[in-house]
Amino acid sequence: MGATHLPSTEFDGTELDDQLEAQAEATLGVPPTEMVQLLGPDGRLGTDSVFSEYAERLDAEKLRGFYADMAAIRRFDQEATALQRQGQLALWVPLTGQEAAQIGSGRASQPQDYIFPTYREHGVALTRNVDLAELLKQFRGVSNGGWNPKDTNFHLYTLVLAAQTPHAVGYAMGIQRDQRLAEAQGVEGSPEPKAAVMVYFGDGASSEGDVHESMVFASSYNAPVVFFCQNNHWAISVPTAVQTRIPLSNRAKGYGFPGIRVDGNDVVAVHAVTEWALEHARQGNGPVLIEAFTYRVGAHTTADDPTKYRESSEEALWREKDPLDRLEKYLRAEGIADEAFFAQVAADGDELAAYIRKSTYESDAPDIRTAFANTYVEAHPLVAEELAWFEEYSAGFAGEDEGEGAGR
């Protein structure tokens, strides 16, 4: 790939990854993995022989938009964490630190693309126009995903790690067939825009067999799918070194498609690399693996305690690479955004937080009858029998205080 990528040994700040690189080089002769970076922690824009071209297409409005998105989702994350602490949510999965990886990649997708997230992709959801209040329903225990994926092409969260990766490949195989069917039928006029699929997973999930099988299928059928791995360095308490002995992006070589490591805290580089990868896939050139090298600054979930397994100094090192700070520096230095812009972003964030708070308080439990109704598409005698029993049983509680009986 490009020429000016910084070797991660100069960048990552984690000894573990340095060791991995050194080991890979010593035992396998693998050179240090280059990492695409355009906007460094100092807020200066570098160059890259391949990806600068993509960065140059970004106008001031887009760059301001990246910042506004990242600030919004960070504010959302803080609010959701607070809601969990107040007992309004059962659990929350924070994304702080990964905003650039998610906003950069999500903003590189096009409406016709289909996205399969894991469960931390709140930033990607924002870029797909998912109502963020719907995201919280899963964590409040009132829905397993409140949005209709058909409206946004943003699939439901998947909690069984990596189980969504073969779905993405199958979906991409469907896109291939749609295109071939359309070609065979000689569809005239303006054809559907070419589409690709992007699937998110993490360094922890990269060990799951489904990731391997997905990559085999994707490669065999040259499916238009981008595997977007956010290497946030910690699978709950287990470091990346336990999941892999080589940089994750290198794994793509074994499957026969490109693998790119990108600075996951650099929204400009993530956007560029993802645009390239999605276009590569849409044009029929097959899958791409992107490893976004980032860091989960907070806990795995609100039930986690990172002080048990990692040094706070490590978190501090990564805070210096903060994705928002570096873009703010750049926007200010280039005169792209002024104080009024940042004030507006902060005000918008407060408004979003207020909306999230209000909609969460108002988000009530559904009627269990909807669960009866949605277990099967077609009529099912056992479900009907059990529902009839439930209605009869519930009717026996009629007149009792709300909430004490089984019926509502």
Partner 1 sequence: MTTMTIAKAINEGLRATLSNNPKSLLMGEDIGPLGGVYRVTDGLIGEFGADRVVDTPLAESGIIGTAIGLALRGYLPVAEIQFDGFVFPGFNQITTQLAKMHSRSNGNLTVPVVIRIPYGGGIGSIEHHSESPEALFAHTPGLRIITPSNPHDAYWMIQQAVNCQDPVIFFEPKRRYWLKGEVDTESAGPAEDPFKAHVVREGTDATVVVYGPLVPVALAAANAAAEDGRNIEVIDLRSISPIDFDAIEASVKKTGRLVVAHEAPTFGGIGGEIAARISERAFHSLEAPVIRVGGFHMPYPVAKVEEDYLPDIDRILEALDRTFAY
Residues at the interface with partner 1 (CB under 8 A): 114, 143-146, 148-150, 155-156, 158, 160, 163, 165-175, 177-178, 180-181, 209-210, 213-214, 216-217, 220, 370-371, 373-378, 380-382
Contact 407, 398 (CB under 8 A): yes
Amino acid (1-letter code) at residue 308 = K
Which is closer to partner 1, CB of 182 or CB of 347? 182
Which is closer to partner 1, CB of 19 or CB of 370? 370
Which is closer to partner 1, CB of 18 or CB of 208? 208
In angstroms, what is the minimal distance from the CB of 145 to partner 1?
A: 6
In angstroms, what is the minimal distance from the CB of 163 to partner 1?
A: 5
Which is closer to partner 1, CB of 131 or CB of 315? 131
What CA–CA distance (Å, rounded) separates 210 from 34?
A: 27
189 burial level (CB within 10 Å; 0-12, 13-18, 19+): exposed
Enter the tokens of residue 345. 């972003």
Give bridge partners of residue 225 from the DSSP assignment.
197
271 Cβ neighbours under 8 A, 6+ residues apart: 54, 55, 58, 66, 104, 105, 107, 108
Amino acid (1-letter code) at residue 53 = E
Which is closer to partner 1, CB of 13 or CB of 145? 145
Enter the tokens of residue 81. 């964490």
Which is closer to partner 1, CB of 144 or CB of 237? 144
Which is closer to partner 1, CB of 49 or CB of 370? 370
One DSSP character per residue, 198-234 reads EEEEETTGGGSHHHHHHHHHHHHHT--EEEEEEE-SE
In angstroms, what is the minimal distance from the CB of 380 to partner 1?
A: 6
In angstroms, what is the minimal distance from the CB of 312 to partner 1?
A: 36
CA dihedral in degrees (239, 242, 243, 247; nearest 10)? 80
Enter the tokens of residue 268. 């400009």
Contact 43, 324 (CB under 8 A): no
In angstroms, what is the minimal distance from the CB of 194 to partner 1?
A: 14
In angstroms, what is the minimal distance from the CB of 117 to partner 1?
A: 14
Enter the tokens of residue 260. 């790119």
In angstroms, what is the minimal distance from the CB of 183 to partner 1?
A: 12
